[in-house]
Structure 1
Amino acid sequence: MAGPTPAPDARSATRPLGVSRPDLPITDLPTPEEVFGVRRIGPRELFRHALGPSLIALGISIGSGEWLLGPQAVGQFGFEGVGWVIVVSAVLQTLYNIECSRYVMATGEAPVVGWGRVPPGWFLWVPLSVLVVIFAFIAGGWAASAGQGMYALVHGEVPGEGAEEPRLWAIALLVVVFLIAAGARRVSRALELANWLMVGTILLGLLILCLFVVPFGLWWDGLKGFVTPAAPPDGITATQIGGLAGFTALASGLNWYVMGHYRDKGYGMGHRAGFIAGMRGERVKLLPSGVTFPDDEKNTALWRRWYRLLLADMWGVFFVGAMLGMLLPTILMARAVELTGTRPTQADMPTFVASALDAEYGRWLFYLALLLGVLVLFSTQLGIFEGMVRAATDAAHATSPRLRALLEGDPRRLYYPFMLVLLVVIAVVLHLALPVSLVQWSANMSNLGALIYPFMLMYLNSRLPRAARPRPWHHAILVLNFLFFGFFFVNFVADFVGDPLVTF
């Protein structure tokens, strides 16, 4: 059985961090060249080997927020008063992702495991965090939307309201996710490669499509809406804005559930901690608790190198991709509204653009738009479904010695059976509501995380080795995440039980 690569000069000292979890053994950070098996990290090696975890997050992002909630908001209310929410959300979420990943790189622990170090301890925060993630995404709106697009692609027509076949396609695509994970040698790497292909195809295809059908005036309206502060448009609800904010870029306060991929990629101390292997991969030991590095000059220099790679991945791939992924579908939606003279509804949102292009330009653009839509929504389905399974597996494996003994140290024995159980549950739940309303539920539930996890990150990251600790302005950004996304969750609850906090 393979295991984490030990440092050549491993030390016996440990570092206490938080409560209720073991102290962190101290050993040297690996070099990026050691982790990625290259002589040096140049531009070519950066793209081939080092970048990638943010693509999994971007694949999720482009589906629910950029393809569904953003275009729906623009299609119903226009760019003014909506676009700036997108930009603010994307910037705040990118900075939040960096803080989550800081912890992963410095300790080799997935965030769901790290929460167990925050008082009062793992017995509260670890199970609660798993439940919050599953409760937020179990509704399956992302899966149901992909099923609608797949139905339209196969039959050449939009499914009728309440049709059963789109749900069957959604379940079939869940099975495809299981097969991708099962056929991998390393699950995170399989997800990276799938998203390189899908996200690249999506953005290139959308760019070509928009250049062909969207007039310059709508491009300008979209760009101007992104950078012009304005009051929300009349008729939009704060719950709709909260859904848009929550799923622009990723999942606001719950973004941490995807950041554990930096561990599996081998970033920083993640290389010492192990990863979740696929069924085809060699059995790998995944440490139940993390490791960290000493406060010395050598490791401080190595930390700075790893941190620069993280920034390149987050700003160069995730943020840029998220902004393009929001701009292109929203201006395409604006063009569809212009062509049809109608506005999208929750029922026809996943196929509205394709139907508009069909009427104006012919079937070839109808099928192109549907194909892009299916890829967009499937990339979301892939990341969310696997992320729920990963969070539960990491949590259970880290906190239960009895379970680890039962699994004989192989987390795959929990990961794949739990994925099948979750598949069955989602297959039932996605019959309960329209896809877009399910996605709005998930987005506003994601904002719940912004009331909790920014402060937990402050607690953990302020106790890391000195080189890895955030600066005061990083804490200020986390407080802004709390205020911005937390407001929308509180409003969502008020709207759900009575009257919203604000109306427009």
Structure 2
Amino acid sequence: MAGIDPRTQQSEFPLGVSRPPLDVADLPQPEEVFKVSKLGPLQVIQFVIGPSLIALGISIGSGEWLLGPQAVGSFGFIGIGWVITVSAVLQTLYNIEIARYVLATGEVPIVGFGRVPPGWKLWVPLSLIVFYFAFIFGGWAAGAGQGLFALFAGRVHRPDELEYVRLLGIGLLLVVFLITALARKVSRALELANWVIVGTLLLVLIVVTIAIVPGNVWWDGVAGLVTPAAPPEGITATQLGALAGFTALASGLNWYAMSHYRDKGYGMGHRVGFISGMRGERKEIKPVGVTFLDTPENTALWKRWYRLLRLDMWGVFFAGAMIGMLLPTILMSHLVATSGVAPTAANVPTYTAEQLGQQYGPGLFYLMLLVGVLILFSTQLGIFEALVRNFTDAVHATSPKLRARIEGDPRRFYYPFMLLLLVVIAFAIHLALPVELVQISANMSNLGALMFPFALMYLNSRLPKAARPRAWHYVILVLNVLFFGFFFVNFVYEFLTGTALVRF
């Protein structure tokens, strides 16, 4: 194979069980991948940043726009804000550990988990089941439809109009299909969409919040994020668990959004391939990953790739998630104080727009409805595509018969499956109110924290030496298990008994 270090001639790298050994090649130069002569700050912004934007676009919806503002609006900042901060820090570190495997092997997590004992026949279906159970209910789709209805009608929907809300959410799923179908490269289309959506909504939120919210509320919000305190009286661990689960992204299930590092070409992802859009060239994805040998050249290149990963995660994902949580929560807190009306599960997607409209006129009503629709659509865009992407990657890697049937072109499965999944979600969103569905999804995300960090420990400890984690990285993964696992146990108890195991 081209690129193999001639001093060793090693062409295979065994890793784990039940999956073929990884192929071996040298790490690519970042300049080679991103087609630039030199990577300066401008080139990093133009070409390197991207996967974290897709993850941020997902995260800044259900948690930052729905669950965080509802919790703060009902209970205040103190005792809640620190949960947001701890969750965001732990999840960012967890994301880096997930992406470590992708960069080192080019394999996406759903495929890599198949290397963990006892093998792919357990881990691949189990991972998909947990992931799908968390997101198949479509609360993220119904929430976007709720905001879009209000934008069209100029008012919040009535109870007898809930079906129109759901139909609009289904219509937005079709928009996601069109965005991916018209793309040359699916991940790149999602990046560009999120550059526009996330950039626009953060700019509008900053301007509106600065203009309306007094300084003392800003201080309360920032202080609440860093002040350790007991949770407020009356809140349950299940409510806090939903907030923790969907702050930043999806706690233990964050791996579902990390496959974009492969498609972006980070590290060995450049050697494996990506999912093309219908307008793109036919592109095969290797069913087995590729890793590198421990040579001085590869070690130096690994350090460069790892620095780019951390920049993408801390500089964009973490910073964006914290700003995206702070602005809506302090804005809602101010509106609750001035209106005397608390948000509910039924009205939280449109609460901010409705209250701003009543206090400051219809212009802000429509502006904030548009912001809400953009926020929730960015979540819808990322989650719907991820549901399709992870299933496609899983069956493509594990089924030689499917690869033969689609002639090695993942698009032949990806797009028909997306249409099938759209029909399933169209049924699922009729099961409950949007925010109730989101709370279920968030707590199911915490279930993932009880299993996937351990799988990562197994995989990452067997990577080439240069890519292996340090001891403190394993401690971080254990902290993820303890923090998010605590909330999942409480969720299960309350779900089964109808009473909270822990109430503060």
Quick one: distance in 1 between partners of 2:386 and 2:328? 25
> Please, what TM-score do these two structures have when normalized by structure 1?
0.98
CA deviations over 1:186-217 (Å, ceiling 9, x no partner) = 10000000001100001111000101111111
In structure 1, the gaps of 5 or more residues are none
Instruction: Verify the 8 A CA contact 2:27 2:267 in the aligned structure 1.
Output: yes
| Equivalent residues in 2 for 1:210-289, closer than 5 Å | 210-289=209-288
Does 2:341 correspond to 1:342?
yes
CA deviations over 1:305-350 (Å, ceiling 9, x no partner) = 0000000000000000000000000001111102210100111110
1:7: how far off? 3.6
| Equivalent residues in 2 for 1:65-464, closer than 5 Å | 65-163=63-161, 164-464=163-463
Instruction: Verify the 8 A CA contact 2:245 2:442 in the aligned structure 1.
Output: yes
Letter of the structure 2 residue corresponding to residue 65 of structure 1: G
In structure 2, the gaps of 5 or more residues are none
- Cα–Cα, structure 1 residues 120 and 433, in superposed 2: closer, same or farther, change >3 Å? same
1:462: how far off? 0.3
CA deviations over 1:94-138 (Å, ceiling 9, x no partner) = 000000000000000000000000000000000111111111101
Quick one: distance in 2 between partners of 1:8 and 1:16? 16
- Cα–Cα, structure 1 residues 219 and 116, in superposed 2: closer, same or farther, change >3 Å? same
CA deviations over 1:368-419 (Å, ceiling 9, x no partner) = 1101000000000000000010110000000000111111101111111111
Letter of the structure 2 residue corresponding to residue 15 of structure 1: F
Q: Tell me which residue corresponds to 1:502.
A: 502
Letter of the structure 2 residue corresponding to residue 140 of structure 1: G
Instruction: Verify the 8 A CA contact 1:288 1:397 in the aligned structure 2.
Output: yes
CA deviations over 1:266-294 (Å, ceiling 9, x no partner) = 00000000010000000011000100000
> Please, what TM-score do these two structures have when normalized by structure 2?
0.98
Quick one: distance in 1 between partners of 2:251 and 2:192? 24
User: For 1:185, what is the secondary structure of its paired residue?
Assistant: coil
CA deviations over 1:449-489 (Å, ceiling 9, x no partner) = 00000000000000000000000000000000000001111
Instruction: Verify the 8 A CA contact 1:12 1:25 in the aligned structure 2.
Output: no
CA deviations over 1:143-195 (Å, ceiling 9, x no partner) = 00000000001111000124211111101100000000000011000000000
Instruction: Verify the 8 A CA contact 2:23 2:288 in the aligned structure 1.
Output: no
- Cα–Cα, structure 1 residues 211 and 21, in superposed 2: closer, same or farther, change >3 Å? same
Quick one: distance in 2 between partners of 1:432 and 1:460? 38
User: For 1:25, what is the secondary structure of its paired residue?
Assistant: strand
Quick one: distance in 1 between partners of 2:3 and 2:373? 44
Instruction: Verify the 8 A CA contact 1:35 1:266 in the aligned structure 2.
Output: yes
Single out whichever of 393-402 and 493-502 deviates more from structure 2. Answer: 493-502
1:502: how far off? 1.1
Quick one: distance in 1 between partners of 2:342 and 2:492? 27
Letter of the structure 1 residue corresponding to residue 320 of structure 2: G
Quick one: distance in 2 between partners of 1:489 and 1:195? 30
Instruction: Verify the 8 A CA contact 1:264 1:275 in the aligned structure 2.
Output: yes
Letter of the structure 1 residue corresponding to residue 305 of structure 2: W
Quick one: distance in 2 between partners of 1:408 and 1:135? 30
User: For 1:269, what is the secondary structure of its paired residue?
Assistant: helix
User: For 1:403, what is the secondary structure of its paired residue?
Assistant: helix
Work out the number of aligned pairs and report it: 500
Q: Tell me which residue corresponds to 2:37.
A: 39
Quick one: distance in 1 between partners of 2:478 and 2:4? 40
1:9: how far off? 6.2
Q: Tell me which residue corresponds to 2:491.
A: 492
User: For 2:159, what is the secondary structure of its paired residue?
Assistant: coil
1:24: how far off? 0.8
Report percent identity of matched pairs: 69
CA deviations over 1:429-460 (Å, ceiling 9, x no partner) = 10111100000000000000000000000000
Letter of the structure 2 residue corresponding to residue 130 of structure 1: L
Quick one: distance in 2 between partners of 1:424 and 1:402? 26
Quick one: distance in 1 between partners of 2:10 and 2:478? 37
Quick one: distance in 1 between partners of 2:2 and 2:242? 44
1:500: how far off? 2.9
Quick one: distance in 2 between partners of 1:8 and 1:115? 26
User: For 2:291, what is the secondary structure of its paired residue?
Assistant: coil
Letter of the structure 2 residue corresponding to residue 284 of structure 1: K
Letter of the structure 2 residue corresponding to residue 373 of structure 1: G
Instruction: Verify the 8 A CA contact 1:339 1:356 in the aligned structure 2.
Output: no
Quick one: distance in 2 between partners of 1:12 and 1:423? 45
Quick one: distance in 2 between partners of 1:138 and 1:9? 45
User: For 1:451, what is the secondary structure of its paired residue?
Assistant: coil
Quick one: distance in 1 between partners of 2:366 and 2:415? 34
Quick one: distance in 2 between partners of 1:367 and 1:227? 33
Instruction: Verify the 8 A CA contact 1:7 1:30 in the aligned structure 2.
Output: no
1:12: how far off? 5.0
CA deviations over 1:60-90 (Å, ceiling 9, x no partner) = 0000000000000001101010000000000
Instruction: Verify the 8 A CA contact 1:161 1:347 in the aligned structure 2.
Output: no
Letter of the structure 2 residue corresponding to residue 382 of structure 1: L
User: For 2:233, what is the secondary structure of its paired residue?
Assistant: coil
